[in-house]
Structure 1
Amino acid sequence: MSPVIPVPYSQLSPSAGPLALSPEDMAWVENTRDAMSVEAQIAQLFVLSARHDSIEENAELLAHAPGGLHRFPTRDLDTAWAATRDALERAEIPLILSGDIEGGTISYPFTTAIPNQMGIAACDDLSLSADLAAIVGRESRALGYNWSFTPVVDINRAFRNAVVGTRSYGSDPDRILAQARTYVRALQAQGVAACAKHWPGDGLDDRDQHLVTSVNDMNMGEWRATFGRIFGTLVDDGVMTIMSAHIALPAYIREKLAQAGAQAFEPASVSRLLNQQLLREELGFAGLIVSDATVMGGLTSWMARAEAVPAVIENGCDVFLFSRDPAEDMRFMLQGLRESRLSEQRLHDAVTRFLSFKAKLGLHRMTLDERIAPLSQVRDTLRRPEHLNRATRACATSITLVKNRDALLPITPDRHKRIVIIADEGSSFFSGAPDRDFTPLRAGLESRGFTIRDFDPEAMPTPADADLILYLIGQEATPSLGHIFLDFAKLHASPRNGMIQFNREIPTLLVSFGQPYYLYDAPNFATYINAYASLPDVQTALVERLTGDEPFTGVSPVDAFCGREQLTW
């Protein structure tokens, strides 16, 4: 194999951009890279998934010498801290730690719980958004994170899309951009790299790229005015990383290749045109490109694994995210290199860029205690009173009254004493997500004089024994769900019961603790609230608003009526 001719870093990125390094730091990058075998360079491109925060899992994953670990929330701080210290100590080359730190219910329980992105957008307060991002940055750094795969900058236009929804800032590109810029600045100021996702833009296709290659069907005029402006502005602002997704942008491919055929629907994660020409050359991005998770159906249904593994790096990504079999995938990468499906130059450039990213974060200069402090210091950083106060304010501010046609609200014990709750237990794809628990809401209502009973399909509520039916429903956006809808058969305990509706006989209130579009499945319900997440602070604040103690202040980041007049009546 012929040696790679080193390329000056300035030629890897026309402008030094967000990974600009001092001569000393660049020397560390070059010396580290050049001392690595080809196999070690390949391994360095992998970020593997850790689900258990255990020393045993570390040993298994770090035997492959990856460049990073991606951590999902677990439940115990002591265990998470010990596992992080262990992982950082084991790695010969500084290990980067990443996470999907998106807020909502997918957070460590020992950190400050903030709303998800849609809940933050509903607060409509950029100063508060900046404070929340700074809290995320401080607490994430305390836990050893260097890289958050946020913000999501997708445009939530397809209301049946189950994976964008509450993970997005909504449907308005201007709102999305303002929130994303605020977030990136505040997060990166805390020493945690941001990652704008999902390039080239999700939210128009109601399908989920975790399951199938989805399509951004904008023409290039609209794309450049929306997603192009969002990503381009964040590039100019200095966002350090962008995630290339398993999403096609056929208009751009056909702009370059008029007879593209099936190639027009190639996922961005393996598209040289989208990554190199559109993102790097046209938008001028000089930071790091990471693939979306390579185990997702949007990629695995497009290419055989042996072809896809080298194609991800060859076509512009610098980091290969996740693997069900790291040893096999690393062999596929090496095989691709030997067969010239992965060029030596692309391997060289990707390793250089990933090491430069680590150097820009200063990982090579940090002691273990600087990467993650002793446990007592970490504990003191988490859930500080000022953090909790800001988060509580955001949870309360976000709650949005969408529809109150019959002036049901506020509810009072003299008119609505007997409440029947019909609740959806919810679910989440994310490891470590807590089970849904409506105890704070129930306790708050009972303390105000309401009596609560759960729905019993053997004793259906009637006007004689129920004054209010309270639906507690809603699924936060989560991968691999396919589609979202209000499943009355499940809520009412059978398909036959699902046909029974109570809203014309008994006052009925529908509250979503997730996606904002459930009114589509209950268009004749007179009262509807979006709370975006079932966090305890959200539930407590909701009770205050249901009973009129506090006003509703949330500003809907989307059209909760789904563009349909029927839903407004």
Structure 2
Amino acid sequence: MPLRRLLAPVGVLVLLLTTACGAGGQPPASDEPRAERPESADPEAGAAELLADMSLEEKVGQLLVPTLAGTTADENAALIEEYHPGGFIYFPENLTGAEQIAEMSNGLQDLAVGSGAGVPLLLGVDQEQGMVARLPVGARFPDAMAVGATRDPEAAASLASTTAAELSALGINLDYAPVADVNVNPGNPVIGIRSFGADPALVGEFAVAEADAFEAGGVVPVAKHFPGHGDTDVDSHTGLPVIDKSREEWERVDLPPFVQAVEADIDMIMTAHVLMPQLDDSGEPATLSPGVITGILREELGYDGVVSTDALNMEGVRQSHDDGEVAVLAVLAGADQLLMPPDLDAAHGAVTAAVEEGRITEERLDESVLRILRLKLRRGLYDAAPVDPAAAAETVGSADHQAAAQRVADASVTLLRNEGGVLPLGEGASVHVTGSGADQIGAALEDLGLALAGSAAGADAVVVGTNGARGDAEQKGLVTRAQASGAPVVVVAQGTPYDIGELPGLDGYLATYSSVDVSLAAAARVIAGEVNPSGRLPVDIPGTDLAFGDGLGY
């Protein structure tokens, strides 16, 4: 029996005693790798060596990526010892600060390499930036649509390299980003500004730019959501979206970014819980469809990287099967990692039983485990030393990182209406600010030398912040009342830019595509003339004369 397996129980006991001491009992960071590398330096041969040393239960465990319990490693010790998961995904309830996150990451890795076959963990998080950002600390960049509006792939690379530096400092080695969906449905309830835009070529270029920068920064990127979630009007968290478009239309609109991702050899691709009957007539969502994952992604596109499911606790994949069967069907469809199974015991037990019964062949299981192990070797998980919590606190959210986020936001602001040259407002102009983000926009304008008015009456201009006003009568009413004051009205749209189609007669309209602090500051800087707006629409605006590529400057 290899030495790695003989030492595992002792290692687990020592680590459990260490982590039970809490954060204060954490050993100091070391420069020494924590995991025992295979003898071969080649990821292919090394993965095969590791696989040969794994039991069936440990192999199945590598497919599982559950959520965490609590905010410390030791709260998950029993789970690691029993199931040997391939990774974990972090959520806000697990995260309190940089040092805590780094200490937890260290503890989880120590527990994993001290148990079973000693395989380090993929520790992941949804840190797309913008509206989907789980970390309570760090630089906050705008949403992907804002990045697309810059028309600069270097903006995408800056977002990813900065995010990767922060995640790496925290011991997080995987980010469930970038979004490679092409948002062509203005009513999409779940993608929207999470997409770079409506042009497949732009989306693909920016997704690959992000992915390359993540990989260069030591973080595994995940392109999502194959075969495409950009043309849905149902949120797959709450239901099953049906996209009844022809294969020809799908190939023209949704497929190109994923082709670019495959050609770039991206580490991981995530599936979508969407039903596309003209791609696959099985009646199953893409996550459970052999025709979509194995047939199209694997065989037609030639992708041999890791395929992760989207979260298996979402209703889009739980319509027709129990939780154990969902896990089995996902593996049979061609998925390698099962993200967030709602019943971990049921998922592990069902997949193990399916292998023992021959429903899932050992060869099929080994294919997935080998892909996962190759990725872990290729991305240096076996060479990784513990991170330094104190250094993490200094790195995460540094001034340089905050400045990088502000530069991207400044370059993204898109001016779509400027009747009579109402913008920019000169220094000392009186402005009333109301609506979404009013406090932040107003404070930034005041810092830039404008005077804040308590009401619209007598103000030189009224700035109204909106976020999703298309379907919100209250926000529309706020704009209408501002227009009734007689002062010029400038809207700052912080969600998708489609609001302008239902807000007629505006004097000024800025799209920031994001409501994060740097985007609100960027809007103020444009209003005050501190920044010349250079963003360009990454989508068409239905019902208007505004189209992809439009945008005004000063």
TM-score w.r.t. length of structure 2? 0.82
Task: Measure the CA separation in 1 of the matches of 2:50 and 2:546.
Answer: 63
Task: Measure the CA separation in 2 of the matches of 1:204 and 1:239.
Answer: 23
Task: Measure the CA separation in 1 of the matches of 2:497 and 2:98.
Answer: 32
Question: How far off is 1:51 after superposition?
Answer: 7.4
**8 Å CA contact retained: 2:193, 2:495:** yes
What's the CA shift string for 1:145-189, capped at 9, x where partnerless?
Answer: 222221111111000102111111100111112212222222212
Task: Measure the CA separation in 1 of the matches of 2:433 and 2:208.
Answer: 43
Secondary structure of 2:308's counterpart equals strand
Question: How far off is 1:244 after superposition?
Answer: 1.2
Q: Which residue of 1 aligns with 2:277?
A: 250
Q: CA 1:51 to 1:121, structure 2 compared with 1: closer, same or farther past 3 Å?
A: farther
What's the CA shift string for 1:10-67, capped at 9, x where partnerless?
Answer: xxxxxxxxxxx96654444234333333222222210112375433543465353211
Q: CA 1:555 to 1:565, structure 2 compared with 1: closer, same or farther past 3 Å?
A: closer
> Aligned match of 1:513 in 490, 494, 500?
494
More divergent stretch after superposition (216-225 vs 196-205):
216-225
Higher relative contact order (CA 8 A, sep 6+): 1
Q: CA 1:91 to 1:442, structure 2 compared with 1: closer, same or farther past 3 Å?
A: same
Question: How far off is 1:281 after superposition?
Answer: 0.9
Q: Which residue of 2 aligns with 1:154?
A: 181
More divergent stretch after superposition (307-316 vs 322-331):
322-331
1:397 equivalenced with 2:411 (yes/no): yes
Question: How far off is 1:316 after superposition?
Answer: 0.3
1:198 equivalenced with 2:212 (yes/no): no
Question: Runs of at least 4 residues of structure 1 off by over 6 A?
Answer: 497-500
What's the CA shift string for 1:61-96, capped at 9, x where partnerless?
Answer: 535321101113534112111111111111132111
Task: Measure the CA separation in 1 of the matches of 2:181 and 2:97.
Answer: 32
**8 Å CA contact retained: 2:127, 2:135:** no
Task: Measure the CA separation in 2 of the matches of 1:467 and 1:52.
Answer: 52
**8 Å CA contact retained: 1:310, 1:337:** no
Task: Measure the CA separation in 2 of the matches of 1:126 and 1:498.
Answer: 36
- What is the identity percentage for the equivalent residue pairs of Structure 1 and Structure 2? 28
What's the CA shift string for 1:111-137, capped at 9, x where partnerless?
Answer: 222222111111111233323322222
Task: Measure the CA separation in 1 of the matches of 2:491 and 2:526.
Answer: 14
> Aligned match of 2:355 in 337, 358, 368?
337
Q: Which residue of 2 aligns with 1:168?
A: 195
Secondary structure of 1:144's counterpart equals coil
**8 Å CA contact retained: 1:419, 1:452:** yes
**8 Å CA contact retained: 1:197, 1:243:** yes
Question: How far off is 1:102 after superposition?
Answer: 0.8
- In the alignment, residue 130 of structure 2 is paired with which amino acid? G
Secondary structure of 1:421's counterpart equals strand
Task: Measure the CA separation in 1 of the matches of 2:68 and 2:513.
Answer: 27
Question: How far off is 1:400 after superposition?
Answer: 1.2
Unaligned runs of 5+ in 1: 1-20, 254-259, 424-436, 454-460, 476-483
Question: How far off is 1:355 after superposition?
Answer: 1.7
Task: Measure the CA separation in 2 of the matches of 1:317 and 1:406.
Answer: 56
1:307 equivalenced with 2:325 (yes/no): yes
**8 Å CA contact retained: 1:420, 1:470:** yes
**8 Å CA contact retained: 1:399, 1:531:** yes
Task: Measure the CA separation in 2 of the matches of 1:534 and 1:56.
Answer: 36
> Aligned match of 2:129 in 100, 103, 108?
103
**8 Å CA contact retained: 1:210, 1:298:** yes
Question: How far off is 1:387 after superposition?
Answer: 3.2
Q: CA 1:158 to 1:376, structure 2 compared with 1: closer, same or farther past 3 Å?
A: same
What's the CA shift string for 1:255-306, capped at 9, x where partnerless?
Answer: xxxxx4xx2x421111101111111111110111111111111101243323
Q: CA 1:407 to 1:58, structure 2 compared with 1: closer, same or farther past 3 Å?
A: farther
> Any residues of structure 2 matched to 1:312-391 within 5 Å, and which?
312-367=330-385, 369=386, 373-391=387-405
Q: Which residue of 2 aligns with 1:422?
A: 435
Task: Measure the CA separation in 1 of the matches of 2:301 and 2:138.
Answer: 36
Q: CA 1:464 to 1:362, structure 2 compared with 1: closer, same or farther past 3 Å?
A: closer
Q: Which residue of 1 aligns with 2:465?
A: 472
**8 Å CA contact retained: 1:307, 1:336:** no
Secondary structure of 2:236's counterpart equals coil
**8 Å CA contact retained: 1:418, 1:465:** no
Q: Which residue of 2 aligns with 1:68?
A: 87
Secondary structure of 1:215's counterpart equals coil
- In the alignment, residue 254 of structure 2 is paired with which amino acid? F
May I ask how many residue pairs the two structures share in their alignment? 499
- In the alignment, residue 472 of structure 2 is paired with which amino acid? D
Secondary structure of 1:401's counterpart equals strand
Secondary structure of 2:417's counterpart equals strand
Q: Which residue of 2 aligns with 1:77?
A: 98
Question: How far off is 1:235 after superposition?
Answer: 1.1
Secondary structure of 1:285's counterpart equals coil
Secondary structure of 2:422's counterpart equals coil
Secondary structure of 1:91's counterpart equals helix
1:283 equivalenced with 2:301 (yes/no): yes
- In the alignment, residue 397 of structure 1 is paired with which amino acid? A
Q: Which residue of 2 aligns with 1:487?
A: 472
Q: CA 1:161 to 1:395, structure 2 compared with 1: closer, same or farther past 3 Å?
A: same
Question: How far off is 1:100 after superposition?
Answer: 1.6
Task: Measure the CA separation in 1 of the matches of 2:453 and 2:73.
Answer: 45
Question: How far off is 1:386 after superposition?
Answer: 3.9
Secondary structure of 2:531's counterpart equals coil
Q: Which residue of 2 aligns with 1:547?
A: 528
Question: How far off is 1:562 after superposition?
Answer: 2.2
Q: CA 1:284 to 1:22, structure 2 compared with 1: closer, same or farther past 3 Å?
A: farther
**8 Å CA contact retained: 1:441, 1:539:** yes
Question: How far off is 1:452 after superposition?
Answer: 4.5
**8 Å CA contact retained: 1:155, 1:204:** yes
Q: Which residue of 2 aligns with 1:268?
A: 286
Task: Measure the CA separation in 1 of the matches of 2:428 and 2:121.
Answer: 60
Q: CA 1:83 to 1:439, structure 2 compared with 1: closer, same or farther past 3 Å?
A: farther
Task: Measure the CA separation in 2 of the matches of 1:209 and 1:76.
Answer: 31
Question: How far off is 1:511 after superposition?
Answer: 1.4
Secondary structure of 1:509's counterpart equals strand
